Amino acid sequence: MRTRRDFIERVAACGGSATAAMLALDLLAPAGASPALTLDGSGNGTHVVILGAGVAGLCAAYELGKAGYVCTILEARSRPGGRVWTVRGGDRHVESDGSVQTAAFADGTYLNPGPARVPQHHVTMDYYREFGVAVEQFGNVNMNAYYHSTTAPPDMQRIRMRQAKFAIAGYTAELLAKAVAQDALDAPITSDDKVKLLDFLSTNGGLDAKYDYFNDGSGGYAKLPGVGPGVVADPLDLMPLIRSGFGAFIAPEREIDQQLTMFQPVGGIDALPRAFAARLPGRVRYETAVTEIRKTATGVRIAYTTHGNATAIEAGYCICTIPLPVLRTIPADFSPAFVASMNRVAYMDSAKIGLAFKRRFWEEDDRIMSGISRTDQTITQIWYPSYGYFGRGGVLTAAYATGQAARTIGNLAPPERAALALRQGAAIHPQYPAEYASAFSVAWQKTPYNMGAWVAWSTDTRKNDYPVLSRADGPIYLAGEHMSYINAWQAGALESARDVVRRLHARVRAA
């Protein structure tokens, strides 16, 4: 590693972040916030009909409204937000198979069945600031949470996150330190660099004088210090950790959108759509389902039903934020290329199960204050609330699954989902049965007006179909998280809406 390029390539080859390495060497400026959305000139009352009152549709109406456009939003549900939804006591949910649930959560508790956290670098935070939405930290990573594996040795099936993370990092540092110390690298570094690197690996990896990993306390204690020094726990062996799949649990935290520190709006994730809607009085028509999307000589004609009555609205332009699995079922005048691309795009299945408990045993007994436990069972994850600490009870996101695990959950009736979450969760928290109060679950692939959680672009569809769907089809534009590279996040919907607003406004001004 004679050059900075060698170093960066070696970091990337070892599974590290080349971006982080470049930032450390001052070779790359850190990304900042999205540029402010400013529109020159006025839309002069141009009418835009927007399909869907999720955050993309609401954002588009809000920004266009500031520039003099008249926007009408058609929303099939009785609330704003779409997948950005907070379930509270008394809320009702009907899935596509007719199953009905009514939440029995106590006041002040809730479940966010869709998005639930916000990275600090997302444009979402800018709108929180603009609207005065109070935020609080979301505990995405808690070293006191559990990793659980059904395939691990019996004494390792449930361990604290810190035990796995620091052991894996320590053993990795041990291997690299010994290679450096023995001149085992194919491209030697300078003697001064070797000293600095070994010092870094020893300190950061918890290595002893022989470059062997040992638990210096960061991996946990068998007995915590108090008036005495405490007893440091023995480090876990590397290969059982790897074979048990604990290393894979760490991977999500490497993603830039899941790195510390993360936030949530106080009181529920639906704070943003409610804030948008409050600034769009009279612009949103709820319980209004779109039945046809047609092009006209002067723009668009959208047919819809509201409270059982069929009618239509005409406008110069249309911004459609309806998820593609639903949009495919609506008769429309889209071009053949547009239809072909739309039909090729897949969506992710996702499910969450919220369990309400009478006592916050995860705090009282397990000392887990927020964060996520991970397991190889169907429930996949357990999220602990980042609010209401020391309260009498609370709601756990007792399952958050995608893909096949989500389909398994979705194929169960709601009472069976609750039973699954209780049974599998009890392997991590034996207190479940005694403290259980109620349940509420959402399978997004069975949720009307969504029929999927978020877009799942493949290499081919991203390359060939995303460009087609990104272009306006006559007077019709698509917007939403699916029309971005920040899929599944509110920021993807917001960035997409802002992009469409810019392009539509430029078109209107040019005309």
Location of structure tokens 């939003």: 73
**pLDDT value at residue 18:** 42
Q: What's the confidence (pLDDT) of residue 188?
A: 59
* pLDDT at residue 183 is higher than 90: no
The whole-number pLDDT of residue 233 equals: 83
- CA dist 159 and 167 (Å) reads 12
Q: How many CA atoms lie within 13 A of 249 on its CB side?
A: 32
Residue 8 pLDDT > 60: no
Q: Which two tokens stand for residue 144?
A: 């006191």
* Structure token digits, residue 260: 């510390």
Whether pLDDT at 470 is above 90 = yes
Mean pLDDT of the chain: 90
Nearest residue to 283 (alpha-carbon basis) of 63, 93, 86, 503? 63
pLDDT band at 6 (very low <50, low <70, confident <90, very high): low
Lowest model confidence (mean pLDDT) among 187-191, 250-254, 284-288: 187-191
pLDDT in the model for residue 186: 59
Torsion over CA: 323, 326, 332, 336 (sign): positive
CA dist 290 and 181 (Å) reads 68
For the stretch 483-498, pLDDT in tens is 999 999 999 999 999 9
Residue 81 confidence (pLDDT) above 80: yes
Residue 157's alpha-carbon distances to 152, 218, 370, 372, in angstroms, are: 5, 20, 21, 16
Q: Is 322 exposed, middle or buried (0-12, 13-18, 19+ CB in 10 A)?
A: buried
Does residue 4 carry a pLDDT above 80? no
242 vs 385: which has the higher pLDDT: 385
Q: What is the pLDDT of residues 246-261, one digit of tens each?
A: 777 776 777 888 888 9
**Higher-confidence residue: 311 or 217?**
311
Q: Residue 291 phi/psi, 5° resolution?
A: -115, -20
Give the list of residues 6+ apart from residue 73 with CB closer than 8 angstroms, or none.
Answer: 49, 50, 51, 52, 53, 57, 58, 61, 280, 283, 284, 285
Which of these ranges, 36-45, 167-176, 337-346, 494-503, has the smallest mean pLDDT? 167-176
What pLDDT was estimated at residue 20? Answer: 41
Q: Say whether pLDDT at 368 is over 90.
A: yes
CB neighbours of 487 closer than 8 A, spacing ≥ 6? 454, 455, 456, 457, 481
Helix (H) or strand (E) holding 325: helix 324-327
Domains observed in the chain: 1-30 (no CATH), 47-81+271-345+456-510 (3.50.50.60), 92-145+261-269+350-446 (3.90.660.10), 161-244 (1.20.1440.240)
Whole-model pTM: value is 0.87
State how far the Cα of 177 lies from the Cα of 185, in Å rounded to an integer. 10
For residue 414, give the H/E element and its range.
Answer: helix 414-425
pLDDT of residue 30: 47
